[in-house]
């Protein structure tokens, strides 16, 4: 029923091997022969059988991109950058070759699904795997993921961590095929809080992300470091509330924090989306931003500049990190020294923060 490489070979009056060679473009073939084959391919409307090809070659052109939440632009931006960087790299290839199938897999933040997707990708003998965003902050899961990634690496799959802390114990052989691009969440958070401190704020609330995420912890640690240095370490626990990375969490946390401490003059959110919820809560309580309460976010997602007032935040090089991860995944770029590169965040001061009242 379906047309195979052998059919093409017959039509072009060459051997199957030759057809394979022109299709993959990785071997010298006479121009005349190539054209004959190409014509046959067109006429027969032939499409390579991926599984067969992957089986024979023991590799595939699948590249998996794991994200925690595909509906969150944070991940969308990174994933998009990874894909387009990969597209540019393989674009110049032959007819059927070179093209990588970049696919994004949505784990929904679930450790099980993360592992499941990794297994599925392993099963497909993926060429590369890119894990994006914060990891689940649990030793057991971390070890499981590390083990899985080590196996993938051994099997020849390139592994790239993008916007995620380095693996717990990646000292061994995994180090070779594993590159890590991590964000300086802690440093960014510290500078952000220092900015607020510099504006005279002394009573700051912090709306943290879900407890079990590394991103949450690192940003929180940066905040606490700044607070502690300023001699404000006492009330930290009371003025911190955890919740998911969504606007609703920001809304509710802001209400709760104001209940605990009506005298707050600044609220720092774990990310921009949460900050949006914080702003909404403040407005609903009749508080002005930043006159009554300053608000800050993190990530500098595209909508942050359109918030009213525009959000002070920490800009992460999402696009740059994704693009680099894409190049790392295709082997178009050499891994950073030591397999680890840290990308800093830049404080972006806008209208949502002002002097303490």
Q: Is 181 exposed, middle or buried (0-12, 13-18, 19+ CB in 10 A)?
A: buried
Tell me which of DNA, a copy of itself, none is bound by residue 13, counting a contact when its beta carbon lies within the kind-specific cut-off of 5 to 8 angstroms: DNA
Which residues on neighbouring strands pair with residue 67, listed in sequence order?
A: 106
> Which residues 25-44 are close enough to bind DNA by CB under 7 A?
26-30, 32-34
24 part of the interface to DNA, by CB under 7 A: yes
Name the token pair of 54: 């992957």
The overall longest dimension of the chain from CA atoms, in Å, is 84
Which residues on neighbouring strands pair with residue 313, listed in sequence order?
A: 348
Angle at 80 between CA 79 and CA 86, to 5 degrees: 90
Size of the site for a copy of itself (CB under 8 A): 62
55 part of the interface to DNA, by CB under 7 A: yes
Tell me which of DNA, a copy of itself, none is bound by residue 27, counting a contact when its beta carbon lies within the kind-specific cut-off of 5 to 8 angstroms: DNA
**Strand, helix or coil at 168?**
coil
Q: Which residue has the tokens 């030759």?
A: 18
Nearest distance in Å: CB 202, a copy of itself: 28
Tell me which of a copy of itself, DNA, none is bound by residue 24, counting a contact when its beta carbon lies within the kind-specific cut-off of 5 to 8 angstroms: DNA
Tell me which of DNA, a copy of itself, none is bound by residue 283, counting a contact when its beta carbon lies within the kind-specific cut-off of 5 to 8 angstroms: a copy of itself
Question: Taken in order 108, 111, 113, 117, is the CA torsion positive or negative?
Answer: positive
Q: Which stretch binds DNA (CB under 7 A): 46-54, 298-306, 322-330, 338-346?
A: 46-54
Size of the site for DNA (CB under 7 A): 31
CA distances 107 to 64, 132, 213, Å, are: 12, 11, 14
Q: What whole-number distance in Å separates Cα of residue 126 and Cα of residue 93?
A: 19
Question: Residue 6 or residue 234: which is nearer to a copy of itself going by CB?
Answer: 6
52 part of the interface to DNA, by CB under 7 A: yes
Name the token pair of 129: 């795997």
276 part of the interface to a copy of itself, by CB under 8 A: yes
Nearest distance in Å: CB 34, a copy of itself: 20
Which residues on neighbouring strands pair with residue 205, listed in sequence order?
A: 267
Give the CA count within 13 Å in the CB-facing half-sphere of 221: 11
Which residues bind to a copy of itself, rule: CB under 8 A? 2, 45, 47-55, 60-62, 64, 69-73, 75-77, 79-80, 83-84, 87, 96, 99, 101-106, 108, 113, 116-117, 119-125, 151, 155, 246-247, 276-277, 279-280, 283, 302-303, 305-308
Which residues bind to DNA, rule: CB under 7 A? 2, 4-6, 13-21, 23-24, 26-30, 32-34, 48-49, 52-53, 55-58
């Amino acid at each position: 029923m379906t047309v195979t490489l052998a059919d093409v070979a017959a039509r072009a009056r060459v051997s199957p091997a030759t057809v394979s060679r022109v299709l993959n473009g990785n071997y010298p073939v006479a121009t005349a022969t190539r054209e004959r084959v190409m014509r046959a391919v067109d006429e027969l409307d032939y499409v390579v059988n991926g599984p067969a090809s992957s089986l024979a070659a023991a590799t595939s052109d699948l590249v998996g991109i794991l994200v925690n939440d595909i509906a969150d632009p944070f991940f969308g931006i990174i994933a998009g950058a990874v894909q387009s960087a990969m597209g540019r790299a393989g674009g110049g290839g032959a007819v059927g070759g070179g093209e990588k199938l970049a696919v994004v897999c949505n784990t929904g933040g679930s450790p099980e699904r993360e592992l499941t997707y990794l297994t599925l990708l392993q099963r497909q003998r993926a060429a590369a795997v890119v894990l994006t965003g914060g990891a689940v902050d649990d030793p057991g899961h971390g070890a499981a993921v590390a083990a899985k990634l080590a196996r993938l690496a051994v099997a020849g799959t390139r592994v790239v961590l993008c916007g995620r802390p380095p693996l717990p114990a990646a000292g061994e052989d995994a180090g070779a095929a594993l590159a890590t691009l991590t964000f300086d969440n802690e440093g960014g958070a510290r500078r952000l809080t220092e900015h607020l401190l510099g504006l005279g704020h002394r009573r700051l609330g912090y709306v943290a992300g879900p407890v079990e995420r590394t991103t949450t912890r690192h940003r929180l640690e940066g905040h606490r470091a700044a607070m502690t240095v300023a001699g404000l370490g006492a009330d930290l626990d009371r003025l911190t509330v955890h919740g998911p990375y969504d606007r609703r969490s920001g809304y509710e946390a802001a209400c709760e924090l104001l209940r605990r401490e009506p005298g707050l003059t600044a609220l720092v959110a774990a990310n921009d989306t949460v900050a949006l919820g914080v702003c909404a809560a403040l407005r609903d309580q009749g508080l002005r931003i930043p006159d009554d309460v300053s608000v800050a976010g993190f990530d500098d997602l595209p909508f942050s500049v359109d918030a009213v007032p525009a959000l002070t935040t920490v800009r992460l090089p999402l696009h740059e990190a994704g693009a680099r991860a894409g190049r790392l995944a295709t082997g178009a770029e050499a891994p950073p020294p030591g397999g680890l590169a840290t990308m800093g965040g830049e404080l972006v001061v806008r209208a949502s923060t002002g002097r303490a009242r």
